[in-house]
Structure 1
Amino acid sequence: MQTNHTCKENEHLLNPPIQLPLPKEFHIKTRQLLSQAMHQQHKLPANSIALFKSEITKPIQDQDIEETPQQEANFHYLFGAQETDCYGIVDFDTSQAIMFCPNIPEAYEIWMVVNRQSYFKQTYAINDCFYVEELNKYLEEKKPSEIHLYDGENSDSGLRPSLPTFDFLEKYKIVKHQLYHTLNELRTIKHPEEIEQLMFINKISSDAHVRVMQNTYPHLKEYQMESLFKFHVQERCGSKAKAYDCICASGQGNATLHYNANTKLIADNCLILNDMGSKYNGYCSDITVTFPSNGKFTQKQKHIYQAVYEAYKNVLDNVKEGVQWDDMHLLAEKTILKHLINIGIVVNAPMEELIEKRIGAVFFPHGLGHFIGLCVHDVGGYNPGHPERHSQAGLKNLRTRRTLQAGNCITVEPGCYFKELIIEKALNNQEQCKYLVKEKIEEYKEVGGVRLEDGICITKTGYINFTNVPRTIEEVEKACAGLHWKN
Structure 2
Amino acid sequence: MKDSKMQKANTREKGGKHLTSKSKRLSKINSENYEKFKKRRITLRKNLQQITAGKPFTAILYSGDETKRNGDVSYPFRCNSNFYYLTGFSEPNAWMVIFSDGKRLNEDIIMSKKKDKTKELWDGIIIGQRKAKTNYLFDKAYSTEAVDRIVVSKLEESECVFFPIAERSFSQRISRWLSVLTNKKRMGVDNPGHLGDLSRVIENQRVIKDTHELKVMKKAARISAAAHREAMKISRPGLKELDIETALLQVFRNNEAYEVAYPSIVASGANACILHHRASSRILQKNELILIDAGCEFNGYASDITRTFPVSGKFTKAQKLIYEIVLLAQRDAIQKIKLGEKYNAPHEAAVRSITQNLINVGLIKNRSVDEAVETQEYRKFYMHRTGHWLGLDVHDVGSYNTTFKKNMVLTVEPGVYIRPAKDIPREFWNIGIRIEDDVIVKEKGCELISREVPVKLDEVEQLSSF
Which TM-score bucket, shorter chain as reference? 0.7 to 0.9
**2:137 alignment partner, one of 125, 131, 142:** 125
1:177 aligned counterpart, secondary structure:
strand
Alpha-carbon offset, residue 10 of structure 1: 9.0
Specify the code of the residue in structure 2 equivalent to 1:465: L
For 1:314 and 1:44, locate their aligned partners in 2 and report how far apart those are by CA, in whole Å: 46
Matches of 1:161 and 1:303 in 2, distance apart? 51
SS of the residue 2:292 aligns to: strand
Residue 225, structure 1, aligned to residue 225, structure 2: no
Equivalent residue, structure 2, for 1:52: 61
The number of residues matched between the two structures is 431
Q: Return 5+ residue gaps in structure 1 as ranges.
A: 1-8, 154-158, 382-399, 424-437, 483-487
Aligned partner of 1:97 in structure 2 is 108
Given the alignment of the two structures, is residue 321 of structure 1 paired with residue 304 of structure 2, yes or no? no
Does residue 345 of structure 1 match 2:345? no
Query: Cα offset for 1:106?
Result: 3.1
Equivalent position to 1:138, from 123, 132, 150: 150
SS of aligned partner of 1:461? coil
> SS of 1:404's equivalent?
coil
Counterpart of 1:188, as a letter, is V
The CA distance in 1 between the partners of 2:168 and 2:289, in whole Å, is 38
Counterpart for residue 4 of structure 1: none
State the distance in 1 between where 2:17 and 2:374 align: 55
Shift of 1:191: 1.1
Q: Quick one: distance in 2 between partners of 1:106 and 1:51?
A: 29
Change (3 A) 1:139 1:330: closer
Cα 1:152–1:292, aligned 2, differ >3 Å: closer, same or farther?
A: farther
CA distance in 1, matches of 2:265, 2:278: 5
Alignment partner of 2:179 out of 142, 163, 170:
170
Say if 2:88 is the partner of 1:80: yes
How far residue 193 of structure 1 moved from its aligned partner, in angstroms, is 1.3
2:374 aligns with 356
Within-5 A mapping of 1:241-252: 241-252=259-270
Letter in 1 for 2:255: R
What is the aligned counterpart of 1:463 among 431, 436, 446? 446
Match of 2:304 in 1: 286
Tell me the equivalent position of 1:20: 29
Q: How does 1:69-468 map to 2 (within 5 A)?
A: 69-92=77-100, 96-103=107-114, 105-115=116-126, 116-139=128-151, 141-142=153-154, 143-146=156-159, 148-153=161-166, 162=170, 165=173, 167-172=176-181, 173=191, 176-237=195-256, 239-347=257-365, 349-381=367-399, 400-419=400-419, 438-447=422-431, 449-468=432-451
1:130 partner SS: strand
Over the residues paired in the alignment, what is the CA RMSD in angstroms? Answer: 2.4
Is 1:43 matched with 2:53? yes
Higher mean alpha-carbon deviation, 200-209 vs 336-345, is at 336-345
What SS does the corresponding residue of 1:440 show, helix, strand or coil? Answer: coil
Residues 112-121 or 204-213, more deviating: 112-121
The farther-off stretch of 65-74 and 326-335 is: 326-335
The verdict on how the C-alpha distance between 1:315 and 1:182 changes in structure 2, with shifts beyond 3 A counting, is same
5+ residue gaps, structure 2, are 1-12, 182-190
How far 1:160 moved relative to its partner? 6.2
Amino acid at match of 2:458: E
Call closer, same or farther: CA 1:188–1:68 in 2, change over 3 Å.
same
2:173 maps to a residue whose letter is T
Distance 1:164 1:99 in 2: 21
Return the letter of the residue paired with 1:297. Answer: F
1: CA distance, partners of 2:358 / 2:370: 15
Q: Decide which moves more: 337-346 or 289-298.
A: 337-346
**Whole-angstrom distance in 2 between the partners of 1:27 and 1:443:** 54
**Structure 2: how far apart are the matches of 1:35 and 1:183?**
10
| SS of residue in 2 equivalent to 1:402 | coil
When the two structures are superposed, what TM-score results if normalisation uses the length of structure 2? 0.86
| Structure 1 pair 269–29 and aligned structure 2 pair: CA distance change class (3 A) | same
Q: Which amino acid aligns with 2:216?
A: Q
Q: CA deviation at 1:140?
A: 5.3
1:336-368: CA deviations, max 9, x gaps? 122212222122512111111111222111011
Which deviates further from its counterpart, 351-360 or 16-25? Answer: 16-25
Distance in 2 between the 1:322 and 1:91 partners? Answer: 35
Give the partner amino acid of 1:481: S
Higher strand share: 2
Over the matched positions of the two proteins, sequence identity in percent amounts to: 28
- Residues 368 and 412 of structure 1 are in contact (CA less than 8 Å); yes or no, is this contact kept in structure 2? yes
Amino acid at match of 1:214: K
Give 1:138's aligned amino acid. Answer: I
**Structure 1 residue 476 corresponds to structure 2 residue 454:** no
Work out the CA distance in 2 between the residues paired with 1:403 and 1:83.
35
Letter in 1 for 2:410: I
Query: Which is worse superposed, 17-26 or 272-281?
Result: 17-26
User: TM-score scaled by structure 1?
Assistant: 0.82
Residue 148 of structure 1 aligns to a residue whose secondary structure is: strand
Q: What whole-Å deviation, never above 9, does each CA across 1:159-200 have from its counterpart, x for those lacking one? A: 768557274453343654332322211111111111111111
> How far apart, CA to CA, are the structure 1 residues paired with 2:96 and 2:359?
56
- Distance in 2, matches of 1:168 and 1:347, equals 62
1:112–1:218 distance in 2 versus 1, CA, 3 Å? same
Verify the 8 A CA contact 1:150 1:161 in the aligned structure 2.
no
CA distance in structure 2 between the aligned counterparts of 1:323 and 1:454, rounded to whole angstroms: 19
Tell me if structure 2 keeps the 8 A contact 1:201–1:280. Answer: yes
Deviations 1:436-461 (A, max 9, x none): xx5335441132x1001111111232
Whole-Å separation in 2 of the counterparts to 1:90 and 1:217: 55
- More displaced, 131-140 or 144-153? 144-153
8 Å CA contact retained: 1:151, 1:161: no
